[in-house]
Amino acid sequence: MKSIRFRTRLLLSFWLILIPALCLPAYYIYRTLENDIYKEATANAFTQLEFIHWLLNERPAFDNEQALDKWCEDLGAQLHYRITIIAAGGRVIADSDVNYPNINLLDNHSDREEIIGARKFGQASSIRYSFTIGRNLIYAAKNINTPNAPSGVLRVAIPLSSVETRLAYFGHRFWLILFIMFILTTLLGFFLTRKLEAPILEIIQTATAIGEGKYEKRLDMDAGSEFARLSECINAMTRKIQQDIRMITEQKQELEAVFGGMQEGVMLLDQEGKIKATNDALTWIAKCMPSCVGHRPMEVFLNPEIQEACNQVLMGKDMIKRKIALNNEIVYEVNVVKIPDGGAVVVFHDISELVRLEKVRQDFVANVSHELRTPLTSIKGYAETLLNEKFRTSDQADSFVTTIIKNADQMSNIVNDLLELTKLQQQQRKAVRLSTVNAALCFSSAWETVMPMSNEKGISLDNRLPDSVWVTADEHSLIQVFRNLLDNAIRHSPTDTKITVFAEITQAAATFGVQDEGTGIPLQHQKRIFERFYRVDNERSRASGGTGLGLSICRNAIFGMGGKIWVKSPPDDQLKGSVFYFSLNRAVDFLT
């Protein structure tokens, strides 16, 4: 029934109402008409019966039963009725339709309905089929007791053919009219249901379009239509849905933009603890391409701490915070928060830099304390010794004062280098204003500064720089880089050796090199020598007067000018020594 169209179901329902509404009254009218016709025919039969009875009373007495039969036959021929006279015992003594010699062959009529009724009530009637003449007849019977004929029952039988013909005529016309009415009402019902179905189909099509996301679809029905109010409600609902969808879409896009643009990795867990959604940062952290969705955190990160934190939150805890290291290099602060409707949100915040800076701070404090403790201890010891008046007059007092001054100078150099390093780091956070600088002149200024120390150790310079190398840099910072590299090379070079300075110039950049002939730097230390206070040989470095900050200052200065710095030890085709390289962008105005 559900698969049948609405119009068909409506038409069937109409038929279920129409057919009983037409047939039941029609059947009642037909039966009433049939009863009236039969009553009329029966009344006519009794009328004829009375007439024949009157004629029988008006005649003289019959000589015998044969004469009575002859009279009945003649009268029946005139009236076209069957006239029968039955004796008191039920024997037929005269019949207009049966020859007298055959009367004795007729059945006894004492059990006939009309005969029994006539004897009981004086007169009676019945309708039945006569096997004698082969037709349906109306029988009307009456008791007679006249001197002209034997006592018994007079019966008249009138054929029902005319009545049946009349009934058939009325029946055919009646059922024809009923059929025509059924056809007309069916056509009218079909037209009405089709007209009723049209707006319903339009409503269905509109609802289907709305369900498919076509929210611009609208219903347009006449104000007088039965569905006008429904049309207004659907249009209002569609507008509201369209506004809500637009708002939800905008919010979704905003959330996706925020979600995708977050540097923190975020993943959403369902009630079963499986990953439901992630952002790009989490995908990069977990290295799960193409997707982490559908997996458990343990399968993605291979870290039991993360899985345990997620399990605890899924089992009821509101929030858990963990500090977890992945790959022994990156440290994440992992926050797991419970979702009220089930599931959890896991946020990965990269705190590796904070951890590294904390470690650098701790190392820096330790290094500064260590670097300052030695000269301070020396200054304090020598100063306490000089408090003795007798010692102040000795020949060693001057050497003690010299040592105090030397350690004070070392402390001053450390403080100055720290201030310079801090200044360079602040310049990196701001934007350093660079200009066009001749690197060859900067090198000459730096060499003049360190020349007394090189002459003292008998170290010569092999300057292979061109007369002019124009680069984009900060002049003061570039002079300091050259000075620190030259100072570092002189301190760690044996006496009577050579320092070579050269440049490799390309279209875009200039790479400078400062090469010494010292003992070199072991490979395991080369990555860390640019860190603050890092020394390959602490005792030797302090004895040479270094602060441990020179190379760190060089690195920050070069990075601030947009270049890079590195070391190679030993140089190519050499067994000892080191080469410190740094590169800077060439000045645009001087590019050839």
* pLDDT at site 519: 84
Provide the residue type at 180 as one letter: I
Q: How far apart are CA 309 and CA 328, in angstroms?
A: 20
Residues 255 and 395 in one domain: no
* pLDDT at site 444: 92
Does 204 fall in a domain?
A: no
Residues 488 and 569 in one domain: yes
Q: At what angle do helices 475-491 and 550-560 cross, to 10 degrees?
A: 150
Provide the sign of the torsion angle of the four alpha carbons 25, 31, 34, 38, taken in this order: negative
Residues 102 and 220 in one domain: no
List per-residue pLDDT tens for the chain, 592 residues long: 455 666 677 777 777 777 777 778 877 877 787 788 778 888 888 888 888 888 888 888 888 888 888 888 888 888 888 888 888 888 888 888 888 888 888 888 888 888 888 888 888 988 887 776 677 788 899 988 877 777 888 889 888 766 767 777 777 787 788 788 878 877 877 777 777 767 777 777 777 777 777 767 777 766 556 667 777 787 788 888 878 888 888 888 887 787 777 778 888 898 888 888 888 787 777 777 667 888 888 888 888 888 888 888 888 888 898 888 877 678 888 899 998 888 898 988 888 778 777 776 665 655 555 556 666 676 666 676 666 666 666 666 667 677 677 666 656 665 665 655 566 555 554 556 788 999 999 999 889 988 888 888 899 999 999 989 999 998 888 988 898 899 888 988 889 899 999 999 888 899 999 999 888 888 877 777 877 666 665 544 444 445 567 788 788 888 888 899 989 888 877 788 899 999 999 886 555 4
DSSP 132-149: TTTEEEEEEEEEE--TTS
Angle, CA 440 vertex, CA 437 and CA 446 arms, to 5°: 100
List 462's β-bridge partners, or say none: 500
Residue 535's CATH number: 3.30.565.10
Residues 257 and 379 in one domain: no
The number of beta carbons lying within 10 Å of the beta carbon of residue 177 is: 12
Phi, psi of 225 (to 5 degrees): -70, 150
Does 406 fall in a domain?
A: yes
Distances (CA, A) of 410 to 233, 403, 480, 544: 89, 10, 18, 11
Residues 74 and 108 in one domain: yes
Query: Does residue 322 sit in helix, strand or coil?
Result: strand
- Total domains present in the chain: 5
Does 575 fall in a domain?
A: yes
Residues 323 and 370 in one domain: no
Residues 470 and 517 in one domain: yes
**From the centroid of its chain, how far is CA 20?**
53
Nearest residue to 264 via CA among 251, 277, 279: 279
Return the H-helix or E-strand segment holding 32.
Answer: helix 6-58
Residues 19 and 161 in one domain: yes
Does 187 fall in a domain?
A: no
Q: At what angle do helices 397-429 and 352-386 cross, to 10 degrees?
A: 160
Residues 233 and 335 in one domain: no
Residue 377's CATH number: 1.10.287.130
Q: Which two tokens stand for residue 374?
A: 């030695």
Residues 62 and 28 in one domain: yes
Residue 289's CATH number: 3.30.450.20
Does 51 fall in a domain?
A: yes
Domain encompassing residue 518? 431-590
pTM (predicted TM-score): 0.42
List 143's β-bridge partners, or say none: 153
Residues 307 and 402 in one domain: no
Residues 369 and 342 in one domain: no
* pLDDT at site 431: 53
* pLDDT at site 429: 46
Query: Does residue 354 sit in helix, strand or coil?
Result: helix
Does 330 fall in a domain?
A: yes
Distances (CA, A) of 347 to 129, 273, 320, 512, 559: 103, 15, 11, 46, 33
Does 316 fall in a domain?
A: yes
* pLDDT at site 390: 62
Residues 6+ apart with CB under 8 A from 136: 127, 128, 129, 130, 159, 160, 161, 164
Query: Does residue 453 sit in helix, strand or coil?
Result: helix
Q: How far apart are CA 368 and CA 211, in angstroms?
A: 72
Q: How far apart are CA 454 and CA 448, in angstroms?
A: 10
Does 183 fall in a domain?
A: no
